[in-house]
Structure 1
Amino acid sequence: MNKRPTIRDVAAMAGVSVATVSRVLSGDYPVANATRTKVQRAVRELDYVVNAHARALSGSTSNVVALVMYDVVTPFFAFIASGVEYQATESDRLCLVCTTHGDPDRELEIVKLMREQHADAVILVGGVNMTDDYRERMYRYAKGLEDAGSRLVLCGRPSLGPDFPAITVEYDNAGGAYSATSHLLSSGHRRIAMLGGPIGNTTFDARLDGYRRALEAFRVAVDPALIVHGDMSQESGFRQVQRLLSSGVAFTAIFAANDFVAAGAMRALRAAGKSVPGDVSVIGYDDTPFAPELTPALTSVHVPHEQLGRTAVKLALQRGEGSARQHVMLGTHIAMRDSVRPLI
């Protein structure tokens, strides 16, 4: 009684052949309305679910777009996921969300599984620690996806090179950090602290690079004492500012590697009796929905999250020569609010 129903059970109940049931379920062949009704009734009564492995072995795609990301609660990932889901729905695809919590081995295993399931596309979101071993293994899986008629999309992370069989949809990550730091420099700030993310992560290494380049462009020396690293939480931002304050290093502005860190930094400054932007100006990154709700409203680098997700799906579902190796760069801009005070 607990045995899962098979396609043969559906065929027997409907009084048709297994091939006819397959045609009804695939929707790719003309079937008489009366026959289709009988098969659909049998499917409902038996609660039959199409076997994904059998469909994959038949050589057809699963009509699935797989989204692989760190988690589903961080706004950066959640809003990209929203764009992916909207575009997948408009393209008559099912969106499957998988989380890795920062484990690169899990990410690679998910890519391998989605290749076996003949997913139409596998979209990897966000930064990663790019080791030689990771590149080599990812190349094998990307090539396997391409050979199976699928696509690997790197979304919000840098390209692995022109010969890598993947689509890249990224935003001007380093450019956004350059603009944020330049805005502070143009406002007269010269002692700008950088609250960075994990060392080696492609996203936060690029933001640190943009910060450094802006200082160099304004002929301001990079002071290692002003650069601190942590994770990307509010609590990390709070601790990073406490470290800066206890060290006695002077600074008049902070560029935080994301809005969560910026919020924690502002809380630490208030706890130390300092006002924002009266004593210290603060800029965040990502322009998450809570940024305008902070006190003061947080100036932040705006990332086109939903557009990233939509573009990733659109390009992944394109077919044609060269379509598997496209590279798209989306722009960023500063959302000006109240957390920066000019010194000049």
Structure 2
Amino acid sequence: MSAGKKNRVTISDIAREAGVSVPTVSKVLNGRPEVAAHTRERVEKLIMHYNYSRRASHGTGRAGLIDLVFHTLDNQWVLEIVRGVESVTHDAGLGTVVSAVHEGRRTDRAWLDNISSRRSDGIILAVTELGPRHAELLHGLGVPVIIIDSLGQPDPSVASVGATNWSGARAAVEHLVSAGHHRIGFIGGPPQLQCSSARLDGYRSALLAAEVAIDEELIVEGDFTYDRGENATHELLDLADPPTAIFAANDQQALGTYRAVEQRGLSIPDDVSVVGFDDLPMAQWITPALTTVHQPVATMAAQAARMLLRHAETGGFETNRVELATELKIRASTGPGPKA
């Protein structure tokens, strides 16, 4: 690094010159013991040479920032999470920094470098999956982490906030069965995710309890995107005995179902009833309004933020798992099934 860079050196610059990882530099800055003596000495010399200092705290030993990390930033679920977190951090006088992982890109560690350099007070992860490499790097930062796992697989060793996916899905299918539907299609989520498995299990459980035969042809894999919802709906409607109702495992896919039904010249709910999962604001804006399982996304995010604030005060989480209730919201997209 040149002499002219002394006043704008970053933690990534120091790590690169020292030949170590960003979390290692963070450990030295935090005075943590698990760094070899010769490595610590090398890093400390660079810190002194470049007169590096982290973001000043607000006199409480805290940086005044919470990091909120997503996998992507292009859907309404993200906005609900931001709204929930910001409602807590704003009242607490903290800032919220939003970033995306962009897994697999050359810049996919930029968010970790940024978190390290600004001495975040806590990290809220709202990502589809947290790879082992990122998990290891996060652990090395010595910053409390909490996961909002409505789209992910919660690690039992990491604090997390989720929702009752199984019971929410079961309630959705029970509603359709009680309306007279026995051919109910299911568009799931990525199978490796815990919430996807729970929603599929809830679907199966409701059919078994109602003594409705489970037809595996009616179960198609999804990925929580609009396009997959549209394509999966066409697959279901192409069956020799198509469903009279479709339960999409999230609202984005349910919107894709709307589009596919329209393309077929069919109507909702007269020809096909549709149920989603999430209850994002758009669920009430579309026509007909979407029957969906209300997942308290903003409340989940606010709960995660409050848990981080308590961690800052007490040094630990009171519990590693909080699960909030879901509720079925019945609207105009569901109607009676075909008459026998």
Instruction: Identify the TM-score tier after normalising by the shorter chain.
Output: 0.7 to 0.9
Corresponding position of 1:86: 87
Correspondence for 1:193 among 185, 190, 200: 185
Confirm whether residue 249 of structure 1 aligns to residue 241 of structure 2: yes
Confirm whether residue 70 of structure 1 aligns to residue 71 of structure 2: yes
Q: Look up the SS of the partner of 1:55 in the other structure.
A: coil
Confirm whether residue 214 of structure 1 aligns to residue 214 of structure 2: no
Give the drift of 1:153.
Answer: 0.4
Confirm whether residue 97 of structure 1 aligns to residue 98 of structure 2: yes
Give the drift of 1:235.
Answer: 2.6
Amino acid at match of 1:152: V
How do 1:257-296 and structure 2 match up within 5 A? 257-296=249-288
How do 1:222-237 and structure 2 match up within 5 A? 222-237=214-229
Give the drift of 1:136.
Answer: 7.9
Cα distance in 2 between the residues matched to 1:325 and 1:106: 34
1:295-341 CA-to-partner distances (Å, cap 9, x unmatched) read 21110111112211111111111132652643211111111111111
Aligned-residue sequence identity (percent) comes to: 32
Question: For the Cα contact (< 8 Å) 1:278–1:341, is it kept in 2?
Answer: yes
Cα distance in 2 between the residues matched to 1:52 and 1:91: 31
TM-score, with structure 2 as normaliser? 0.74
Corresponding position of 1:154: 147
Confirm whether residue 55 of structure 1 aligns to residue 54 of structure 2: yes
Cα distance in 1 between the residues matched to 2:51 and 2:96: 15
Q: CA RMSD in A?
A: 3.3
How do 1:129-208 and structure 2 match up within 5 A? 134=131, 138=135, 140-141=136-137, 143-145=139-141, 148=142, 150-156=143-149, 157-161=152-156, 164=157, 166-208=158-200
Amino acid at match of 1:76: W
Cα distance in 2 between the residues matched to 1:176 and 1:52: 54
Question: For the Cα contact (< 8 Å) 2:100–2:111, is it kept in 1?
Answer: no
Confirm whether residue 337 of structure 1 aligns to residue 326 of structure 2: no
Question: For the Cα contact (< 8 Å) 1:226–1:249, is it kept in 2?
Answer: no
Quickly say closer, same or farther: Cα 1:116–1:216, change in 2 above 3 A.
Answer: farther
Cα distance in 2 between the residues matched to 1:104 and 1:200: 21
Give the drift of 1:158.
Answer: 4.7
Amino acid at match of 1:160: D
Give the drift of 1:160.
Answer: 1.6
Give the drift of 1:127.
Answer: 3.3
Cα distance in 2 between the residues matched to 1:189 and 1:118: 54
Question: For the Cα contact (< 8 Å) 2:71–2:128, is it kept in 1?
Answer: no
Give the drift of 1:114.
Answer: 2.6
Question: For the Cα contact (< 8 Å) 1:158–1:168, is it kept in 2?
Answer: no
- Segments of structure 2 that go 5 or more residues without pairing to the other structure are 9-49
Question: For the Cα contact (< 8 Å) 1:225–1:249, is it kept in 2?
Answer: no
How do 1:95-134 and structure 2 match up within 5 A? 95-101=96-102, 110-111=111-112, 114-115=115-116, 117-128=118-129, 134=131
Q: Return the index of the structure with the highest Cα Rg.
A: 1
1:213-235 CA-to-partner distances (Å, cap 9, x unmatched) read 22223233322211112333333
- Segments of structure 1 that go 5 or more residues without pairing to the other structure are 8-50
Amino acid at match of 2:53: A
Correspondence for 2:314 among 301, 320, 323: 320
Question: For the Cα contact (< 8 Å) 1:187–1:342, is it kept in 2?
Answer: yes
Amino acid at match of 1:203: C
Runs (4+) of structure 1 exceeding 3 A deviation are 3-7, 56-61, 101-113, 134-137, 140-145
Give the drift of 1:261.
Answer: 1.5
